[in-house]
Chain A
Amino acid sequence: MSSRSPTPPQEPTPSRLVGSLAVAGFLSGLIIIGIYVATLDTITENKARELREAVFRVLPEVTQMQKLQYDGERVVLKENGKDDENTLYAGYDDKGNLAGYALASDGPGFQDTIRVLFGYQPANNKVVGMWVLESRETPGLGDKIYKDAAFVTNFDNLSTEPPIVTVKRGTRSRANEVDAITGATISSKAVVRIINQGVEKWHQRLPLPGNEPQLKSEGRT
């Protein structure tokens, strides 16, 4: 700092230094709270819309959905409150018949937690769709778990009895097998493991056939 003007005539007191930092921190806090409040509604709305779209993607022929909650004993209609790991979504067709459940599940991937939403029909032990909600897998390799349509369609009609397994690409022959992505074996296996865990967690919890929650009359679409 030799190019700066010579030492100022008076050194500022420590309290002035602390004061300037405190004022800067306070103003910065105000601005951050302001932008947080200003964008909160849009962000929540975006997330809700994204989730709703994902539910329609993982459940084929579904036109209406409602949010449910597992309360520790059984699955009940969710009226409000924050979503947690016991929240699930039921999809219904045009006539209001239950078409399947969309279940969220997460677990470690190659780099970070992968969060997956999958469509499940407990009556015939079937996964009918898969959508990656969150992941930080390697661009170009691991991100094929959601960018590679061939991998995603593996999950469109998949038996979960016995549990899903990954096989080398192109060798899929049984109803519970998934073609792994070449170059992203760990990510492919992670997705399968996450879905298996989800199925295991939810299968017992879901209501028996004939006992499914009815679509509320003003079912949201």
Chain B
Amino acid sequence: MATLSNKMNAYDEMLKGIWRDNPVFVQVLGMCPMLAVTNSAVNAIAMGLATFFVLVSSSFLVSGMKAIIPKQVRISIYVIIIATFVTVADYTLLALFPAVHKELGAFIPLIVANCMILGRQEAFASKHSVKFAVMDAVGMAGGFLLAMFALGSVREILGEGKLFGISLFGENFEPWVIMILPPGGFITLGLLLLLFNWVGERRKQFLAQVAAVD
């Protein structure tokens, strides 16, 4: 394992979460908060930041303690660690940003059940050094945050004609209410997945062409 870690590039570990292995657009993980709270850009960013905090802290702790966690009960301990950080995030948000907390409500505690977070602990943090675990978590959480923002801003712009609560189109714009309702979440997610895969495909073709010319 140590030799593998040495060959890995820390920045590459971070970048893979943002693009190549994006938790939302490529792995399609964490769909529950993704669809539920992306009805406005602010909610999406708040949720993304809460998830960022939980994922990075949990990966740090799990990676740091991997030697003393018995492997038979590792999943339970990961869940305890994640749940503790989620509670910390929940109370902090409630104390500092009560208005945002009111909007996100039930979905903050549900970060515990976000499979992206547990997945990173089991698949990565528990097998790699603290440095790589944190880099990986930052990348994955950053990718999640970007995807949340992409969905939240598209839905807010079309569904309310606003971005961050600022009106964009003036009085005559008729909001597409469906975009901030659950079906709008699925539609937007589907279209963004399509776009993401299309761009990926084009990139592959381009690289193949370049290789052929060479």
Contact = CB atoms under 8 A, between A and B. Distances in A.
Given A39-B94, A139-B181, A12 B84 contact: no
Given A32-B87, A141-B177, A20 B69 contact: yes
Given A25-B80, A31-B88, A140-B39, A20 B73 contact: yes
B82 to A, nearest CB: 10
Interface in B160-192: 160, 175, 177, 180-181
A21 B73 contact: yes
Given A20-B77, A140-B39, A31 B84 contact: yes
A46 interface: yes
B72 interface: yes
B98 A50 contact: yes
A28 B177 contact: no
Given A25-B80, A140-B160, A46 B95 contact: yes
Interface in B65-111: 68-73, 76-77, 80-81, 83-84, 87-88, 91-92, 94-96, 98, 102, 105-106
A38 B68 CA distance: 30
A96 to B, nearest CB: 32
A35 B73 contact: no
A139 B183 CA distance: 12
Contacts, number: 74
Given A20-B77, A46-B98, A140-B181, A12 B70 contact: yes
Interface in B101-140: 102, 105-106, 127
B159 interface: yes
Interface in B34-79: 39-40, 68-73, 76-77
A47 B39 CA distance: 25
Contacts of A139: 39-40, 180-181
B72 A32 contact: no
Q: Which of A31, A38, A43, A140 has the most CB of B within 10 A?
A: A140
> What DSSP secondary structure best describes chain B's contact surface?
helix
Interface in A133-158: 134, 136, 138-141
A61 B11 CA distance: 60
Contacts of A208: none
Contacts of A21: 73, 76-77, 80
A42 interface: yes
A37 to B, nearest CB: 10
Interface string A4-41: 11001000100011001100110110011001101100
B70 A17 contact: yes
Contacts of A27: 84
B77 A24 contact: yes
B80 A28 contact: yes
Nearest to B83: A28
A38 B92 CA distance: 9
A183 interface: yes
Given A20-B68, A46-B95, 16 more contacts: A8-B71, A21-B77, A21-B80, A27-B84, A28-B81, A28-B84, A32-B84, A35-B92, A46-B98, A47-B98, A138-B181, A139-B180, A140-B175, A140-B180, A140-B181, A141-B181
12 contacts: A4-B127, A8-B71, A17-B73, A32-B84, A35-B92, A39-B95, A43-B91, A43-B94, A46-B98, A47-B98, A140-B160, A140-B180
Interface of A: 3-5, 8, 12, 16-17, 20-21, 24-25, 27-28, 31-32, 35-36, 38-39, 42-43, 46-47, 50, 134, 136, 138-141, 183
* Closest 7 pairs between A and B when the two form their complex, measured CB to CB: A39-B95, A140-B180, A42-B95, A28-B84, A39-B91, A12-B70, A139-B39
